[in-house]
Amino acid sequence: MDEIKELNPEKKFISWQTLFLMDLCTVIGIDDIMYNFQNQGMSVIFSWVVMVLFYVIPYSLMVGQLGSVFNKEGGGLSSWVRRTDGEFLGYFTAWTYWAASIPYAVDSANEIIVDLGWALTGSEKFQSKISNSTFAILTFLMFIIFIIVEHHFSRSMELLSTIGGGLMVVMTILLVLLAFVGLAKSGGHMATQPFTWKMMLPNFNWHYFSTIAMLIYAMNGCELVAPYVTQMKKPQYDFPKAMIALAAMTAFLTIFGSFSLGIYFNAYHIPNDLKMNGAYYVFDMIGQQYGLGKGLLFFWAWTSVFFNCALLAVLLDAMTRMLISDTGEKYMPKFLRKKDKNGLPINGYILTVSLSAFIMILGIFLPNMNDIFNWLLNLNGIVSPGVTCWIFYSFMCVRKNSKTFSSKYVYIKNDKLAYTVGLILLVVTAVATIMGITPQDVAQYSGTWWYELIINIVSVVVLIGLGAILPGIRRREVKYGIAFDKPQWISMIALILIAIIAGISLGATKLPLRGLYIFIEEIAVLIIVWLIGRRKPDINNSFKAEE
C-alpha cells in the first residue's frame, strides 16, 4: 500500500464500480454489436459467448497485472513494452498504436457525415446523393476543422466524449430492454423466421474465421483504464472485480443485443448497409413500435454526432501528442517533434492528416459510400487487433521474469501456465489479424474484392512501414543536420504520390494481372526513392520546417 499512497497522496480512491463504468464506455457499444451481426448473423451469439469466456476475461486480467507492475509509468502500452524489451520496441509499439488510430480517426470522421445526414433529414436517402469524392472531401474538411479548433476545445471535447460514451452505453441497454418488452407485446414475433437454436451455431469456414478480428476489435481497449489501478483502495481485489463486471456486462450487451437485432432484422437476409445505418433503422422501428415516431431515431443521431465529434478531436490531438512525446529524440525526427507557438506538434498534425488523406484516397474508387464505410471498418479490424498483440507480448515478458516485475495483483499464480495463456492469446490474435485482411461485405473474388484486398495490404504496409523508416531519417538528421534537402523531399513525395495514384488506378481496372503490375510498379518506385534519399543532403537548401 505504500506505493499506492505515494502515487495517490490525497487518498482519493476510485471504486471498482466507477472503474467498471469508465471501462465499459471504451469497450462495447451498439455499433460494435451491429458490425458483427452483419458479419455472422445470429451465430454471432455463439461467438460472443466464446470470446467473453476465453478472450475478454483473461485479456482484462492480464491488463490488470500489467497496469499494476508499471504503475509509476502511467500504465501506457508503449511504456510496458519499453520496460520489458528495450527502447526500440517501445518506440515501435507507440508507432503501431498511433498508426492503428489513423483508420479509426477516418472512420470517426466518416461517421460524423453519416450522423449529420440522419440528424438533419431523418433518412438514409441523402447517402445516395453524395458521390465518393464529395464524401472524401467532407471527411477531409472534418479533419481540418477539428485541427483548427482543437487547442481551444480539447478539454470540453474530452468531457463530451465521456458523456457521449455514457449515453451510448445507456442507449445499448435501452435497445435490449425495449426489444424484449416489444417481443413480449407482439406475442413473440421475430423478423428472423424460421428461428431455431441451431442457427446460432456458426459454419466454421474461412469467412467465419476471417471475421474474428472484428470481434476482437469490438472487445479490445480495456487497457485504457490500467493507469487507475494505483488509485484503487485494494487493487488486488477491486480491479479483478471491475474486470469481471466488465466481462459480465459485455456478455449481457453483446449476447442479448445481438438477439435483439434478430427481432427486428431477418438474420437470413441482412441489409448490406447494416453497419452504416443499422442503428438508425432499429431505433426507428422501436420508436414506431412504441408510438414515439422518429423521436428515438433523432435522439440517437444527435448522441452519435456529439460523441463522434468529440472522439475525432481527442483522437487527432491525443494520438499525435502521444507519438511525438512518448518516443523521444532517439527515433523520432526533429521536424516531426517541432511545435508551434501554442505548443502544438504542427508537423505531427500534418503527418496525421496526410496519412488520413492517403487512407481516404485508397477508398475513393470503391463503388459507393456504403462500401467505403464497410472497408474502413474492415481495415480497423486488421490494425487494431494487431496492436493488441503487444499486450500479450508484454504479459509474457513479465511472467518470464516475474521476480524482476513483481506486483501486488497477479493473474494466475503459476508463471508457466500464465505464460502459456498469454502465448495462446497472442497467437490467436495474430492469426485473426492476418485472416482479417480478407475483404468483407463484398462478393468473394469479384473485382471489388480484389481491389479491397490490395488496398488493405497497401494500407498496412504504409502505416507500419513508415514507422520502421523514421529512425533512419532521424539518424540522417544527427549525421547531416537535416534529413533531406528541398529537391530530395519534393522528388520523393512526388514519386510516392504518383505511385499511389497509379496503384489505385490499376486496382480499379479489370486487368487480369493488375496485382502483379502494381507490385512491380511499387517496387520500382521504392528503389528510385531509396536512391534519391541515400544521397547526402545540401544543408543550405532545406525547408524551414527542418531547421
CATH of the domain at 61: 1.20.1740.10
Q: Which of 331, 344, 335, 332 is nearest to 546 (CA)?
A: 335
Looking at the domain assignment, is residue 298 inside a domain? yes
What pLDDT does residue 3 have?
42
Looking at the domain assignment, is residue 300 inside a domain? yes
More confident residue, 355 or 336: 355
Average pLDDT score over residue span 404-420: 89
- Residue type (1 letter), 90: G
What pLDDT does residue 446 have?
87
What pLDDT does residue 519 have?
78
pLDDT band for position 17 (50/70/90)?
confident
Looking at the domain assignment, is residue 25 inside a domain? yes
Q: Which of 5-9, 110-114, 356-360 has the highest mean pLDDT?
A: 110-114
247-257 exposure pattern, b = at least 16 Cβ within 10 A, e = fewer: bebbbbbbbbb
Kindly report each contact of residues 156-159 with a partner whose C-beta sits within 8 Å and lies 24 or more positions away, as own/partner.
157/309, 157/310, 157/313, 157/314, 158/310, 158/314, 159/310
What pLDDT does residue 325 have?
59
Reported as a single tens digit per residue, the pLDDT across 517-526 is 877 888 898 8
Average pLDDT score over residue span 471-487: 89
Kindly report which listed range (57-61, 129-133, 189-193, 214-218) carries the lowest average pLDDT score: 129-133
- Residue type (1 letter), 424: I
Residue pair 316/101 in contact by the 8 Å Cβ criterion: no
- Give the Cα separation of 509 and 343 in Å (integer): 46
Kindly report each contact of residues 205-212 with a partner whose C-beta sits within 8 Å and lies 24 or more positions away, as own/partner.
206/435, 206/438, 207/438, 208/40, 208/43, 209/432, 209/435, 210/435, 210/436, 210/438, 210/440, 211/36, 211/39, 211/40, 211/381, 211/436, 211/440, 212/47, 212/428, 212/432, 212/435, 212/436
What pLDDT does residue 416 have?
95
Kindly report which listed range (9-13, 136-140, 199-203, 423-427) carries the lowest average pLDDT score: 9-13
More confident residue, 333 or 49: 49
What pLDDT does residue 67 have?
77
Q: Which of 244-253, 255-264, 470-479 has the highest mean pLDDT?
A: 255-264
To which residue does cell 474465421 refer? Answer: 209
What pLDDT does residue 232 have?
76
Looking at the domain assignment, is residue 285 inside a domain? yes
What pLDDT does residue 161 have?
59
CA 389 to chain centre: 14
DSSP per residue, 236-292? HHHHHHHHHHHHHHHHHHHHHHHHHHHHHS-TTS--TTHHHHHHHHHHHHHHHHTT-
What pLDDT does residue 547 have?
56
Instruction: Domain of residue 431: give its range.
Output: 13-483
pLDDT band for position 185 (50/70/90)?
confident
CA 317 to chain centre: 16
Average pLDDT score over residue span 464-472: 87
Average pLDDT score over residue span 351-357: 82
Looking at the domain assignment, is residue 365 inside a domain? yes
Cell digits of residue 172: 445499448
Average pLDDT score over residue span 37-54: 93
Radius of gyration for the chain, computed over Cα atoms and rounded to the nearest angstrom:
24
- Percentage of the chain lying above the pLDDT 70 cut: 86
> Mean pLDDT, the chain, as a whole number?
83
Average pLDDT score over residue span 312-338: 70
Looking at the domain assignment, is residue 412 inside a domain? yes
Q: Three-class SS of residue 43?
A: helix
Q: How far is CA 438 from CA 4, 120, 387, 449, 515, in A?
A: 46, 35, 18, 8, 15
What pLDDT does residue 160 have?
62
Q: How many domains does the chain have?
A: 1
The answer to whether residue 64 scores a pLDDT higher than 50 is yes
Looking at the domain assignment, is residue 516 inside a domain? no
The answer to whether residue 491 scores a pLDDT higher than 90 is yes
What pLDDT does residue 318 have?
62
Residue 481 Ramachandran class (φ > 0 left, ψ -120 to 50 alpha, else beta): left
Looking at the domain assignment, is residue 468 inside a domain? yes
- Say which residues have a Cβ less than 8 Å from residue 138's Cβ, sequence separation at least 6: 113, 130
To which residue does cell 466507477 refer? Answer: 18
Q: Three-class SS of residue 437?
A: coil
- Give the Cα separation of 126 and 131 in Å (integer): 10
Average pLDDT score over residue span 179-204: 90
